[in-house]
Amino acid sequence: MNYLVTGGAGFIGSNYVRMLLSGQLGPVSSVLVLDKLTYAGTLTNLASLPSDSFEFIQGDICDSELTKKLVSRHNAVINFAAESHVDRSIEGSRDFVLTNVLGTQTLLEAARVGSIETFVQVSTDEVYGSIIEGSWPETHPLLPNSPYAASKASADLFARSYYKTHGLDIRITRCSNNYGPYQFPEKIIPFFVTNLIDGLKIPVYGNGANVRDWLHVDDHCRGIHAVLMHGRAGEIYNIGGGTELTNVELTRKILNLMGKNESSIEYVTDRLGHDIRYSVDITKISNELGYKPIVDWKQGLSDTVDWYQRNEGWWRPLKT
Ligand code: NAD
């Protein structure tokens, strides 16, 4: 199969590309990454990949001529390209609308014209809003609260419309919070770890009681691949880890792994519109595709902290 991976120089996309080209997800003919290389994308995430089956093109998913040209040579599009940081979307949401909504629509249109076989739209649990108890099934209404989540929800609706109107084989995945190596150091785990390496304080929003479900990036990528290979056209699949933690619990675990104490915590004014809790119900992907996360949370977090400690050369230039 020939894969077009958009946003493949970012955290999750580059992990997926490395997994694809290592052969652990099955046979691969070729992988082309299309990435704009915004502040969040870097070619160092794609270093040392086999040049006979891998190609990189710098470009924008909003570029309709380019996307039409690239799509025609591929069987599958996996769209990771996005503006992905909630805090940035609160400061200004224009780029989120451009890339996450218009960019996705542009890619969908290219996929339609180019008769792509399968299009996977990588989405997020944040489109559902916030939930005090229980977990969201895929049928839950979309009630996004941040501009980031609103832009991702809009993209999901465009993807669905291309299935309903044009019969394009689209599949949507909605995943919980990811962690692992190569995550841009503005996101909570690498931000805290790298601050602690530098002896800096770590800012916890509000009282730190917000709950997130954490999934190792490898498990997310396995879920996306299962949906691509064995999912059904037009369907939505939640992907989650089942490790729910408050932000304070997560912070304490990081402090513990790094031999630090709570004096490093600085409680700061809460994020605007901060969702209390996210929780996805993964019954559908488990029952239909036999999916379950396999990375042990404690080991995964420990390995991740260790990775940032050993790879200062990767994160320090990005953090400035
Ligand atoms: P990221 O910010 O690390 O990477 C995004 C990539 O997209 C970057 O390489 C960037 O250069 C590229 N990009 C941005 N705008 C582009 C454009 N217009 N054209 C081409 N490329 C562009 O994000 P991530 O954490 O790897 O997330 C990937 C996807 O997974 C996103 O769609 C995000 O919404 C979704 N997601 C992320 C998480 C998470 O915890 N990180 C959880 C669920 C879903």
Q: How confident is the model at residue 73 (pLDDT cuts 50, 70, 90)?
A: confident
Mean pLDDT of all residues in the chain? Answer: 96
Q: What is the pTM of this model?
A: 0.98
- Tell me how far apart the alpha carbons of residues 20 and 14 are, in angstroms, rounded to a whole number: 10
pLDDT value at residue 242: 77
Q: 259 CA to middle of ligand 1, Å?
A: 32
pLDDT of residue 142: 98
Pocket test of ligand 1: the residue of 46, 80, 239, 279 to mutate, having most ligand atoms within 8 Å of its CB, is 80
Q: Residue 14 has what pLDDT?
A: 98
Phi, psi of 230 (to 5 degrees): -125, 0
Residue nearest to atom 4 of ligand 1 (CA): 10
pLDDT tens digit sequence for 283-298? 999 999 999 999 999 9
% of residues, the chain, pLDDT over 70? 100
Q: How confident is the model at residue 226 (pLDDT cuts 50, 70, 90)?
A: very high
Res 51 pLDDT > 90: no
Cα(183) to centroid(ligand 1), Å: 10
Evaluate: CB of 188 within 6 angstroms of ligand 1.
no
Q: Whose CA is nearest to atom 44 of ligand 1?
A: 124
Report the SS3 class of residue 143. Answer: coil
Contacts of 96 (CB under 8 A, 6+ apart): 83, 88, 89, 147, 148, 151
Provide mean pLDDT across the span 199-215: 96
9 CA: nearest ligand 1 atom: 9
pLDDT value at position 115? 83
pLDDT in tens, 171-195: 999 999 999 999 999 999 999 999 9
Report pLDDT digits (tens) over 114-149: 989 999 999 999 999 999 999 999 999 999 999 999
The CA distance from 211 to 188, in Å, is 13
DSSP helix/strand/coil, 216: strand
Which amino acids are annotated catalytic?
125-126, 148
| CB-ligand 1 contact for 184 (6 Å cutoff) | yes
Which residue has its alpha carbon closest to ligand 1 atom 35?
A: 123
Report pLDDT digits (tens) over 80-122. Answer: 999 999 999 999 999 999 999 999 999 999 999 998 999 999 9
Distance 105 CA to ligand 1 centre (A): 16
DSSP label at 136?
B
Q: What is the 3-state secondary structure (H, E, C) of the chain?
A: CEEEEECCCCHHHHHHHHHHHCCCCCCCCEEEEEECCCCCCCHHHHCCCCCCCEEEEECCCCCHHHHHHHHCCCCEEEECCCCCCHHHHHHCCHHHHHHHHHHHHHHHHHHHHCCCCEEEEEEEHHHHCCCCCCCECCCCCCCCCCHHHHHHHHHHHHHHHHHHHHCCCEEEEEECEEECCCCCCCCHHHHHHHHHHCCCCEEEECCCCCEEEEEEHHHHHHHHHHHHHHCCCCCEEEECCCEEEEHHHHHHHHHHHCCCCHHHEEEECCCCCCCCECCECCHHHHHHHCCCCCCCHHHHHHHHHHHHHHCHHHHHHHHC
Mutation probe of ligand 1 site: the residue of 33, 84, 217 with most atoms within 8 A of C-beta: 84
Segment 59-66 mean pLDDT? 98
Tally the C-alpha atoms within 13 A of residue 106's C-alpha that lie toward its C-beta: 22
User: Does 131 sit in the ligand 1 pocket, CB within 6 Å?
Assistant: no
pLDDT for 50 equals 84
Using a pLDDT cut of 90, give the percent of the chain over it.
Answer: 97
Rounded CA gap, 102 and 121, in Å? 13
Pocket test for ligand 1, best of 4, 11, 154 (most atoms within 8 A of CB): 11
- Burial string for 192-210 (b: 16+ CB within 10 Å, else e) reads bbbbbeeeeebebbeebeb
3-state DSSP helix/strand/coil percent for the chain, to nearest 5?
Answer: 45, 20, 35
CB 247 within 8 A of CB 209: yes
pLDDT digits (tens, 9 = 90+) for 30-39: 999 999 999 9
Is the CB–ligand 1 distance for residue 181 below 6 Å?
Answer: no
Give the pLDDT confidence score for residue 209 in this predicted structure: 94
Residue nearest to atom 28 of ligand 1 (CA): 80
Rounded to the nearest whole angstrom, what is the distance from the C-alpha of residue 14 to the centroid of ligand 1?
10
Q: Is 103 in the pocket of ligand 1 (CB under 6 A)?
A: yes
Q: How far is the CA of 132 from the centre of ligand 1 (A)?
A: 27
**Size of the chain, expressed as the number of residues it contains:** 320
- Predicted confidence at residue 320, as pLDDT, reads 79
Question: Residue 221: its pLDDT value, please?
Answer: 98
Burial 168-177 (b: 16+ CB within 10 A, else e): bbbbbbbbbb
pLDDT of 116: 93
For atom 37 of ligand 1, the residue with the nearest CA is 124
